[in-house]
Amino acid sequence: MRIIVTGGAGFIGSWLVRHLVSQTTHSVLNLDKLTYAANPDNLLDVAGAQTYEFRQVDICDAVSVDRAFREFRPDAVMHLAAESHVDRSILAARDFVDTNVLGTFTLLEAARRYRDDLPAPQRDAFRFLHVSTDEVFGSLGAEGLFREDTPYAPNSPYSASKASSDMLARAWFHTHGLPVLISNCSNNYGPYQFPEKLIPVVILSALEGRPIPVYGDGMNVRDWLYVEDHIAALMVILEKGVPGETYNVGGHNEATNIDLVTRICAVLDEALPQSTSRPHADLISFVEDRKGHDRRYAIDPSKIGAELGWRTQTSVDVGLRKTVHWYLHNSDWWQPLRERASLRNLTAAKEAG
């Protein structure tokens, strides 16, 4: 199968690209704008593969996107390109509207035009998988789970932009007959995650003996999904999913933020017995809560389990241990990203001054 992956130099996208290229039956074209959160080093293992091609493309650029479809001739699109950090969406919402909404529109239109010109057998087999988030559903109370029929109620600029992109994808299925599949996943984590996300922030702050920031009272609940399990789910949805359907992908691993951070600290205590920062939990520092911070997310993944046979394989304790040890042994990957972020922040501060 020939597959266009958007956002393939990001965290989840690079896991997907590496998986696809490792399968001899797939050829991959990776379209990525290479924003600050993208990292070509994520793809060093596949960079020389004959079945892999990279193009630096902004998905809002209709000419470049159309050219990619025309020249690569895909059988499927797996759309992961997105601005995804909630804090950044509060400060710079326009970037999220541009990429997540207008970029998705551009891809859907390119896919529609391309598919309409395919011979009947290829046209019928074509698929467009739109990868989204559970944040589109808003915030849960103490009980209940997000289901595929849960009404959308996004509370941040990020989740609003993803909800908008989901609605566009749904509309292109119903209006134009584009065979769209939609997935909504819970919080991903694992190796190669950009250092601004919660779990890498905790690990790297602890390694450096700095305060570990926890928003509010730390009692916000998230469902944690190990990234390899998510990739397996995406493949099952692409191969077996029914066009027009939505599939929730969750890890069955609910935890409060403070509990998750404490677990990470315990793994670090065990892995670094000589650390002068032990016990690392003493570094935890509660900070002012995020604006509009949703209290609880939890996914009901029973549909994808019952209809497509997918089950999560990785408990949060096993996944956290894998993740912590990866960061401990791969400072050559994350250190340049930290230095680049520090330089960017310094430049922004100078410009603001």
- Whether residue 158 lies in the annotated active site: yes
**Which one of the listed residues 32, 83, 114, 158 is annotated catalytic?**
158
Taking the alpha carbons at both ends of the chain, their separation in whole angstroms is 52
Q: Determine which helix (DSSP H) or strand (DSSP E) holds 31, and give its type and residue range.
A: strand 27-32
The residue from 32, 83, 135, 228 that is catalytic is: 135
Active site residue 135: yes
Q: What is the C-alpha separation between 301 and 232, in angstroms, rounded?
A: 14
Q: Is 247 a catalytic residue?
A: no
In the chain, count of helices (H) and strands (E)?
13, 12
Task: Name the DSSP class of 146.
Answer: B
What's the CA gap between 170 and 122, in Å, rounded?
21
CA-nearest of 135, 295, 287, 297 to 220 is 295
Point out the catalytic residue in the list 134, 229, 254, 294: 134
Identify whether the C-beta of residue 51 lies closer than 8 Å to the C-beta of residue 27: yes
Residues 6+ apart with CB under 8 A from 290: 86, 87, 90, 215, 216
Q: How many angstroms separate the CA atoms of 313 and 308, rounded?
A: 15
Contacts of 108 (CB under 8 A, 6+ apart): 128, 168, 169, 172, 178, 180
What are the tokens at 264?
């990470």
Which residues are CB-contacts of 333 (< 8 A; sequence separation ≥ 6)?
A: 39, 41, 192
Annotated active-site positions, please?
134-135, 158
